[in-house]
A and B are shown apart, each in its own frame.
Chain A
């Protein structure tokens, strides 16, 4: 490849995923934004919720590997060298971190919403 920059990457990823690309970007922004909002509103990490999110995150990691296997009509059992194991790790890690943050953010937002409704009542 001769011209590998962020613009090329964007163009290629957009071509690959279409609207899904923007949905994923929106999810990332929503997840990170919601996570930070929950952190600041609640004054720190809620350990119970974190554990629950991490459990969901573990499942998210496996789901990411499953989706990847479906899309590429192959699987991590085809891994043939160190870089493949790195890729398996990255996909699993991506799914784990993504789902953990997203579920923490969703639960945090629901909690904040509940609190504000309770205060109103």
Chain B
């Protein structure tokens, strides 16, 4: 049976043999399962991939589900910022992927080397071809440190070099470099890349906490802090930019705009930025390097990537921004950081995206149309000092969409938000990865 006709056949059996799609409720076990013989392949077993696998395993009966990822460790990445600021220990973000792997799912422990959506197959790093009826791409992104001339990730933690995005270990080393700086003072440089990035709030949070750490140590007067923004704003949502701009002014954090890190001299401690008026060299005593972020090569070089528009250069996937279905290959969904959509590169967005993508995928299995939509929800508890944070939640339209309107004010520095970030977010994340929340 050809691939297309096999899919049509699957739709037919699903439509006749089964049931209404599981509604978008948590308690999927309570809903009747959808019978299908479809083979669904999930590429990437991070936050989104595992969430998708768990929900599919829960909602489908008879499907063959294969997940492909060579990484055996699972990282709760929002925890990196807490490690890099000394709030949590270095083991806090790390657990094992197998802990969250649903029963009955076939896990191929390799990377995907090639996507062939025309032939409905992927090829793994060892050359194994895997055919599918439906594909969910959840590979996250690649940190492109090589794009910064002179950067060496092996030297994170030494000579004033921090980079808390790299890994839990690098986050811990960033904390040791930052605390040394907080005792000695000097020039601190903070920045973000010009590409799309995950959790655009994290570089800002790290800057806020460094500033507060200096105050706690009584060394604030010995330090200059400079935040180098890549564009004309500190955050893509105008109202959030304004709030952060005011707070930075209040905390004495200097800001320069349209500065993109091109080169770093780790021995002489000089960072070179591209600016509209040419290169600008700035000395530092401490720097937190956040590298450019792009789609992993296998995705970027595949027909899944955007060919035109703002997401083409870095290879983000060409999906409908409201249901995450691929625009050219309708049996493919892309969820999480890899999706070429204007917002949403956070774990909080994954929590919203997964149920929508699954609703549409199951509808496709059943040959019906789903109506649920992802509105661009992105959230980022912006830590502004030790003990306080601002809840920042917004959508595609740059509207604030507070979860607790009238109770927890957005853009207000509150203890309750800090309590949520330090206590509740990891359990919520883990529950999402398990497909339960």
Interface residues of A (CB under 8 A from B): 1-5, 7-8, 11-13, 15-16, 68, 71-81, 83-84, 87
Interface residues of B (CB under 8 A from A): 24-27, 87, 351-352, 355, 377, 386-388, 403, 407-409, 412-416, 418-419, 422-424, 426-428, 430-431, 434, 436-437
10 tightest A-B contacts by CB? A78-B387, A15-B427, A74-B387, A16-B427, A84-B415, A78-B415, A11-B436, A11-B431, A1-B403, A8-B437
A12 touches B428 (CB 8 A): yes
In the complex, besides A7-B436, A16-B426, 17 extra interface pairs with C-beta distance below 8 angstroms are: A1-B351, A1-B403, A3-B437, A5-B26, A11-B436, A12-B428, A12-B431, A13-B427, A68-B419, A72-B419, A72-B423, A74-B387, A75-B387, A78-B386, A81-B413, A83-B414, A87-B419
- CB pair A87–B437 under 8 Å, yes or no, is no
8 contacts between A and B (CB under 8 A): A13-B427, A74-B418, A75-B387, A79-B415, A81-B409, A81-B412, A81-B414, A84-B414
Q: Which of A3, A4, A74 contacts B25 (CB 8 A)?
A: A3
Contacts of A13 in B (CB 8 A): 427
Q: How far in angstroms is the closest Cβ of chain B from A1?
A: 5
Q: In angstroms, how far is the closest chain B Cβ from the Cβ of A17? A: 8
Residues of A contacting B: mostly: helix
- Which A-chain residue is minimally distant from B421 (CB atoms)? A72
Which of A5, A8, A76 meets B415, CB within 8 Å? A76
Instruction: Determine the chain A residues whose CB is within 8 A of the CB of B436 once the complex forms.
Output: 7-8, 11
Name the contact of A74 in the complex, choosing from B351, B386, B437 (C-beta under 8 A). Answer: B386
Q: How far is A7 from B351 in the complex, measured between Cα atoms in Å?
A: 16
Residues of A within 8 A of B377 (CB): 2
Q: Which of A3, A4, A15, A78 contacts B418 (CB 8 A)?
A: A78
Q: How far is the CA of A72 from the CA of B351 in the complex (A)?
A: 24
How many CB-defined contacts (below 8 Å) exist between A and B?
87
A17–B275 alpha-carbon span in the complex (Å):
49
Residue pair B352, A2 in contact (C-beta under 8 Å) = yes
Contacting residues, chain A, for B26 (C-beta < 8 A): 3, 5, 7-8, 11
Residue of A nearest to B403 (CB): A1
Residues of A within 8 A of B414 (CB): 79-81, 83-84
Given contacts A1-B403, A3-B437, A11-B436, contact A74 B427 (CB under 8 A): no
A1 to B432, CA, bound (A): 11
How far, in angstroms, from A11 to B87 measured CA to CA in the complex?
A: 25
A74 touches B419 (CB 8 A): yes
Are B407 and A83 in contact (CB-based, < 8 A)?
Answer: yes
B424: A residues at CB distance < 8 A: 12, 16
> Which A residues lie within 8 Å of B418 (CB)?
72, 74, 78
Contacts of A16 in B (CB 8 A): 423-424, 426-427
CA distance A4 to B25 in the complex (A): 10
Select from chain A the residue with minimum beta-carbon distance to B30.
Answer: A7
Please measure, in the bound complex, the distance between the C-alpha atom of A84 and the C-alpha atom of B391, giving whole angstroms: 13
Residues on the B chain within 8 Å of A3, using CB: 24-26, 355, 437
Task: Decide if B415 touches A87 in the complex (CB within 8 Å).
Answer: yes
Task: Please name all residues of chain A whose beta carbon is closer than 8 Å to the beta carbon of B27 when the two chains form the complex.
Answer: 7
- A52–B88 CA distance with the chains assembled, in angstroms: 39
- Please indicate the chain B residues that have their CB under 8 angstroms from the CB of A68 in the complex: 419
B133 to chain A, nearest CB (A): 28
Least Cβ–Cβ distance between B24 and chain A, in angstroms: 8
Measured CB to CB, the closest approach of chain B to A89, in angstroms, equals 12
For B409, the chain A residues whose CB sits under 8 A away are 81, 83
The reply to whether B431 and A8 form a contact with Cβ atoms under 8 Å apart is yes
Contacts of A72 in B (CB 8 A): 418-419, 422-423
- Chain B residues lying within 8 Å of A78, measured Cβ to Cβ, are 386-388, 415, 418
B431 CB → nearest A CB, Å: 5
Bound-state CA distance A102–B431 (Å) is 31
Query: What distance in Å separates the Cβ of A8 from its nearest Cβ neighbour in chain B?
Result: 5
When chains A and B are docked, how far (Å) is the Cα of A15 from the Cα of B428? 8
Q: How far is the CA of A79 from the CA of B387 in the complex (A)?
A: 8
**Residues of chain B with a CB closer than 8 A to A73's CB:** 87, 386, 422
Residues of B near A12 (CB, < 8 A) are 424, 427-428, 431, 437
User: Nearest Cβ in chain B — how far from A68, in angstroms?
Assistant: 8
Bound Cα distance A3, B205 (Å): 27
Q: In the complex, A84→B412 CA distance in Å?
A: 11
Measured between alpha carbons, how far is A3 from B27 in the docked complex, in Å? 11
